[in-house]
Structure 1
Amino acid sequence: MVGFRLKAAVCLLFYLVFPPFCLGIRSIRTRDIDGRDVLGFDRFAEAPEYRNGRGCQVSANEGEFGLKPSSCDPSLVHIAMTLDSEYIRGSIAAVHSVIKHASCPENIFFHFISAEFDLASPRVLTQLVRSTFPSLKFKVYIFREDTVINLISSSIREALENPLNYARNYLGDILDTCVDRVIYLDSDLLLVDDIHKLWNIPLTGSKVIGAPEYCHANFTKYFTDDFWSDPLLSRVFGSRKPCYFNTGVMVMDLVKWREGNYRRRIENWMEMQRKKRIYELGSLPPFLLVFGGNVEAIDHRWNQHGLGGDNVKGSCRSLHPGPVSLLHWSGKGKPWVRLDARKPCPLDYLWEPYDLYKHKSIVAKDQPSLVFSSSSSSPLMEFTSYL
């Protein structure tokens, strides 16, 4: 974390003296081995045009020439994602999968959150998204990293200290106040089902967020011995039965979020972590502390997570039993990296058809292909009809 702040301070100082040459606080490769621009618009193919099916609600601005789509349109499904140089390829594939399988793709509005000091400016990212998805309704927001950087403590992996990981905490402040509900999605996932099904899941009672819960996981491992040995801190779960949930897929009621000032509740735990180390991971534990035991439990099909594998090079994961609507490559391994390196995991082949990146490495001919047999008992068979 000290190194991260040092880079930030140097960059800010350099920016004041030589603004055009500051490349941001993260060290991101801007050119590949052939010297080509990683973010060049020619690197992504234009996505196919997807149109609404029958029965879709008509947008208030539809057919009115010259009017930009408003995020306040009540017919819209709102999706929030972060957008940065490092994960841009995953983000493009995720968006492609969402609109491809949506029954009403023209009724989806994407809210992209971009870091203030990212290599690519919001203007560049906007142009890139527009050139890839000409008809997409979206808006790019700037996330000021100094909003959260002083609250971030060191983690087991430097990647978890990226301030953009905490942007989900501030959606209630960043998005327009007329947006009262949003689905938050990570950039390393694919949908193979209609996003409207997830959107229509109700958040009952006082529930502020909905997510698949995993109650078989060892919940205690997400916090330190100092936390559990402190009688006051450990009592936070005294009246709740918390289960692990992955914050990469969440349905969020922003009205309840704003009214309950949940951003501040999360920040309080982050401040506590700065004084006394109570967890080792990054942005997940504060969410567990605030919402664990009070989450609307959504079917597991909406977050088949962990496909990135453990923090061990070359490790692969298989799917959990049951139907699949969303595949999530959480973990260290990313499908585009493994495919380019010609060392893909079997499930990475399911991500590849949604990849719009033009200059893809050709998978070695001796790599095994994913074959679906009608007699197979693999859980993969349960979602092949979506692909």
Structure 2
Amino acid sequence: MRVLAVALLAAAVLAAEAAAELPEFREAPAFRNGAGCAGAPTIHIAMTLDATYLRGSLSGVLSVLRHAACPESIAFHFVASSASPARRLAALRRALAAAFPTLPATVHRFDARLVRGKISTSVRRALDQPLNYARIYLADLLPRSVSRVLYLDSDLLVVDDVARLWATDLGPDAALAAPEYCHANFTSYFTDAFWSHPEYSSIFTNRGRAPCYFNTGVMVIDLDRWRAGGYTVKLEYWMEVQKQEARIYELGSLPPFLLVFAGEVKAVEHRWNQHGLGGDNVAGQCRELHPGPVSLLHWSGKGKPWLRLDAGRPCPLDALWAPYDLLRRRGARDDLLAAVA
């Protein structure tokens, strides 16, 4: 009996420690399919799941469901690092279930060892975390039955029906669709060592059109074409060049995507990634929206809305994120979510 009591006490202590690692979150409103959703396709959305960005992930999920015409037709795939202790993963699962008890969701374990030897330091530590590279391996992590996935970063809000983005026509050949920004200085994403190396820089010469910058926080991916084209290996190749041969870029997992896909991306309207709201990767200063309509707000950059709000130094646009925050505060009323219900 004493052994059993000790074991139960140890289990209780571990459970309490796991629960204490993460804040508490409120249950989100339940969103139901509309009358025209019979036969609606299942929309597969992939996001990462970790303690640092959990608050952003949950608000992003809430925004997707809030604005979807057929929210019950959306299946979420959360990617968590295999390096996370079992109790941390259990706590993440509980937080997800507390916020969205009936959400169709699967948690996939990403083996961080796949990239640990391929990651080089970048301008911001957050960009160097193995989970930041998990998007490269979605074709391996998700079941073969999933032929298309929408990848979303954990620092954004969707304020339109995500089905419109999901329905993007990738044409006969493209494996990836994303908003492109051809006015950006494309050469600045690579170092002089890259542009002075004839073999490296020639990678763009035979593309369908001139390469343009795109942000990898919002991507529609044809997983069948990705698998057939061996794109994971192609991305890993450039990571190995960066790590072992020459420092050809500075920005984490983004440049390999540009090296493999720039000039062959199916362009999507800019409204689907109003990015850069977190400022640059050093100062994280406040920024305004780009001109034009908005379907997705993306706090890419150093400044995250939940951190700025907690610090009492929010940027004006952070007020748009605040109503989707599911963090449970002591003494706060749960009906604050009425603003987004």
TM-score under structure 2 length normalisation? 0.88
Q: Aligned to 1:315, which of 274, 285, 294?
A: 285
The 3 A distance-change label for structure 1 pair 55 and 205 is same
> Any idea what SS the aligned residue of 1:113 has?
strand
Alpha-carbon distance in structure 2 between the residues aligned to 1:361 and 1:269: 51
1:116 Cα deviation (Å)?
Answer: 1.3
Query: Residue 314 of structure 1: CA displacement?
Result: 6.2
2:148 maps to a residue whose letter is R
- State the match for 1:98 in structure 2: 64
State the alpha-carbon separation in 2 of the partners of residues 181 and 334 from structure 1.
29
- The structure that is helix-richer by fraction is 2
Partner of residue 50 from structure 1, selected from 22, 31, 53: 31
Note the alpha carbon deviations across 1:18-37, whole angstroms, 9 max, x for none.
xx9xx9xxxxxx99xxxx92
* Aligned counterpart, 1:133: 100
Q: CA deviation at 1:239?
A: 2.4
Aligned residue pairs, count: 316
Name the aligned partner's letter for residue 116 of structure 1.
S
Q: Which residue of 2 aligns with 1:334?
A: 304
Could you tell me which residue of structure 2 aligns to residue 207 of structure 1?
A: 174
Aligned to 1:267: 236
Q: Tell me, yes or no, if structure 1 residue 37 matches structure 2 residue 37.
A: no
User: Separation in 2 of the partners of 1:201 and 1:356?
Assistant: 30
Q: Tell me the amino acid that sits aligned with residue 120 of structure 2.
A: S
Residues 283-322 of structure 1: pairs in structure 2 closer than 5 A = 283-313=253-283, 315-322=285-292
Gaps of 5+ in 1: 1-19, 24-29, 60-74, 363-385
Tell me the distance in 2 between the aligned counterparts of 1:137 and 1:284: 29
- Conserved? CA contact 2:124–2:281, under 8 Å: no
Post-superposition CA distance 1:217-237 (Å, at most 9, x none)? 000011110110111111111
Match runs of 1:3-42 below 5 Å:
37-40=20-23
Question: What's the offset of the Cα at 1:355?
Answer: 0.5
Q: Distance in 1 between matches of 2:156 and 2:45?
A: 13
> Post-superposition shift, 1:122?
3.1
User: Counterpart of 1:358 in structure 2: which amino acid?
Assistant: R
Could you tell me whether the CA contact under 8 Å between 1:222 and 1:281 is conserved in 2? Answer: yes
1:219 is matched with which residue? 186
Greater mean deviation of Cα atoms: 273-282 or 164-173: 273-282
Q: 2:122 matched to 1:155? A: yes
Match of residue 249, structure 1, among 215, 218, 243 = 218
CA–CA distance in structure 1, aligned partners of residues 301 and 51 of structure 2: 19
Amino acid at match of 1:124: A
Q: Per-residue deviation at 1:299?
A: 0.1
CA offsets 1:175-225 (integer angstroms, 9 cap, x no match): 000000000000000000001011111101211000000000000011110
1:357 aligns with 2:323: no
Contact 2:274 2:298 in 1 (8 A): yes
Q: Say which is worse superposed, 158-167 or 291-300, in terms of deviation.
A: 158-167
Could you say if the C-alpha distance between residues 312 and 154 of structure 1 is closer, same or farther in structure 2, counting changes exceeding 3 Å?
closer
Deviation at 1:312, TM superposition (A): 4.7
1:276 Cα deviation after fit: 1.2
Cα offset, 1:304, TM superposition: 0.2
Q: In the aligned structure 2, how far is the partner of 1:187 from the partner of 1:233?
A: 32
SS of the aligned residue for 1:109 comes to strand
1:358 positional shift: 1.3
Report the more deviating stretch, 282-291 or 268-277: 268-277
Equivalent position SS for 1:212: strand
1:252-279 Cα shifts (integer Å, max 9, x gaps): 0000000111000000111111121111
Q: Deviations over 1:284-330 (max 9, x none)?
A: 00000000000000000000000001245461000000000000000
**Matched residues in 2 for 1:314 and 1:252: separation?**
29
Gaps of 5+ in 2: 1-10, 333-339
Residues 330-363 of structure 1, C-alpha deviation per residue, up to 9 Å, x if partnerless?
000000000011100000000000001012899x
Q: In structure 2, what is the equivalent of residue 374 of structure 1?
A: none
Q: How does 1:73-222 map to 2 (within 5 A)?
A: 75-118=41-84, 121-222=88-189
Q: Is the 8 A contact 1:182 1:251 kept in 2?
A: yes
**Mapped contact 1:340–1:360 kept (Cα < 8 A):** no
Matched-pair contact (CA < 8 Å) for 1:340–1:361: no
CA contact (8 A) 1:44 1:356 kept: yes
Identity over aligned pairs, percent = 58
Instruction: Name the CA distance, whole Å, in 2 between partners of 1:131 and 1:180.
Output: 29
- CA contact under 8 A between 1:226 and 1:278: conserved in structure 2? yes
